[in-house]
Amino acid sequence: PAVLDLKAAVKCERALKDDTTPRGMKCCPPDFKESEVINFDPRNYWSPGLRVRPAAHKVSPQYAAKFREAVRRMKLLPEDDPRSFAQQAKIHCAYCNGAYHIAGTTDNDHRLQVHGSWLFLPFHRAYLFFFERILGSLVNDPSFAIPYWNWDHPDGMYMPSIYTQDGLSNPLYDDYRDEKHFKSLIDLGYGGDEIKKEDNTKIPEENQIFYNLWHMHVHVARPKEAELFMGGRYAAKDKYSINSPGTIERVPHTPVHIWVGDPEREYSEDMGSFYSAGRDPLFYAHHANVDRTWTIWKGLDGGRKEFDEADFLNNFFIFYDEKKKPVKIYVKDVLDEKILGYKYETSDTPWLDPLH
Ligand code: C2O
């Protein structure tokens, strides 16, 4: 059975305190009643053709200006508006820091945590869908699509400059990042320490690029089974965090979070902690690439098989849409991105065959 039911979804509570979360965090969305919740229907979210999510390092100045304007408007909305950037950021905390009880339970051991399980990919896909629709509506452009951070391509292995330029006057900038990494090549296997040679100097860039492609190869191209790639089964009555992440969640997903977050802050905010990750606009570009990677994985070997059991398909999440309506969206609603109305701008995937 599904991990969340409507009763549990309307009863959001404060986040659980743990090693990566301060005490007493309020992450709940504005209140809604069970009777107000509507079912997701893709026909309610029209766009003129598929929205094309561009690679962040290649966007035009016009696109960058529009995207900044959309995020700027989102940040200006009052905090209690479910479309505001502050509320969008809290969604991550609510679903990742135990603000919801698992269906049919009331104790603290049974709280919902979408990470470390098969809910990881579908949850973030649905989250980005509504985030993107809200941004589009704020600039009156239903064809607007969010960018993806193309960290699996050598040209995209830096923090995209649209997020780092111009300091705090840029709505895509975030003060709580690791400044040492603003201009450096990412390490997709990052665990908190830079890879160094024996004499303590940096490894050559071409080696780091090769390691990165290798990480992609090992964690995306090779794992054929859904359970390996997507994460472990998670169903009602399971405990808070079953801690069974898929290979894509382990690497490069989590290392990228750690690499971006500010290690000087107590919980490595923003990107380095679940409760605060959504506060960094770069989070959404990072997850767009995770999402793109899911689609690429699915297309390998003539079509890899996802989970198709009811315990997977019948899970749902609730998001406010651009009309401020709480929408119940099922895992089965998000398995085909074309139905959600978007696709990704193509970029080469040299990691499919890194030894070539
Ligand atoms: Cu919900 Cu990248 O974590």
* ipTM of this complex: 0.99
CB 135, CB 171: distance < 8 Å: no
**Host domain of residue 290:** 6-352
For residue 320, give both structure tokens.
């406010």
**Which stretches of the chain score pLDDT less than 50?**
none
In angstroms, the CA 337 to CA 252 distance is: 22
Q: Closest Cα partner for 27 from 86, 71, 83?
A: 86
Q: How wide is the angle at C-alpha 142 spanned by C-alphas 136 and 148, nearest 5°? A: 55
Does residue 334 lie within any of the structural domains?
A: yes
Ligand 1, atom 3, residue with closest C-alpha: 274
Q: How wide is the angle at C-alpha 188 spanned by C-alphas 186 and 191, nearest 5°? A: 100
316 flagged as catalytic: no
Atom of ligand 1 nearest to the CA of 287: 2
115 flagged as catalytic: yes
Element (H, E) at 313: helix 310-313
CB 109, CB 94: distance < 8 Å: no
For residue 156, give both structure tokens.
């995209």
Query: How many Å lie between the centroid of ligand 1 and the Cα of residue 274?
Result: 7
pTM for the predicted model, two decimal places: 0.97
Residue 263: other Cβ atoms inside 10 A: 12
Q: Name residues whose C-beta falls within 8 Å of residue 63's C-beta, 6 or more positions apart in sequence.
A: 54, 147
Q: Scan for tokens 């820091």, then name that residue.
A: 97
In angstroms, the CA 8 to CA 162 distance is: 39
Q: Which is catalytic among the residues 181, 219, 253, 286? A: 253
Does residue 207 lie within any of the structural domains?
A: yes
In angstroms, the CA 242 to CA 255 distance is: 20
215 flagged as catalytic: no
Query: How many Å lie between the centroid of ligand 1 and the Cα of residue 198?
Result: 33
CB of 96 shorter than 6 A to ligand 1: yes
pLDDT the model gives residue 239:
79
For residue 165, give both structure tokens.
């330029």
Element (H, E) at 39: strand 38-39
Sign of CA dihedral 197, 201, 205, 211: positive
Atom of ligand 1 nearest to the CA of 124: 1
In angstroms, the CA 184 to CA 164 distance is: 12
124 flagged as catalytic: yes
**CATH number, position 153:** 1.10.1280.10
Does residue 30 lie within any of the structural domains?
A: yes
Torsions phi, psi for 148 (to 5 deg): -115, 150
Does residue 124 lie within any of the structural domains?
A: yes
CB of 10 shorter than 6 A to ligand 1: no
Task: Specify the number of domains making up the chain.
Answer: 1
Q: Name residues whose C-beta falls within 8 Å of residue 140's C-beta, 6 or more positions apart in sequence.
A: none
Query: How many Å lie between the centroid of ligand 1 and the Cα of residue 87?
Result: 16
CB of 177 shorter than 6 A to ligand 1: no
In angstroms, the CA 70 to CA 83 distance is: 12
CB of 219 shorter than 6 A to ligand 1: no
Query: How many Å lie between the centroid of ligand 1 and the Cα of residue 298?
Result: 20
Does residue 164 lie within any of the structural domains?
A: yes
Query: How many Å lie between the centroid of ligand 1 and the Cα of residue 81?
Result: 23
Q: Which residues pair with 342 in a beta bridge?
A: 51
CA atoms within 13 Å, Cβ hemisphere of 134? 27
Does residue 1 lie within any of the structural domains?
A: no
CB of 92 shorter than 6 A to ligand 1: yes
274 flagged as catalytic: yes
Does residue 302 lie within any of the structural domains?
A: yes
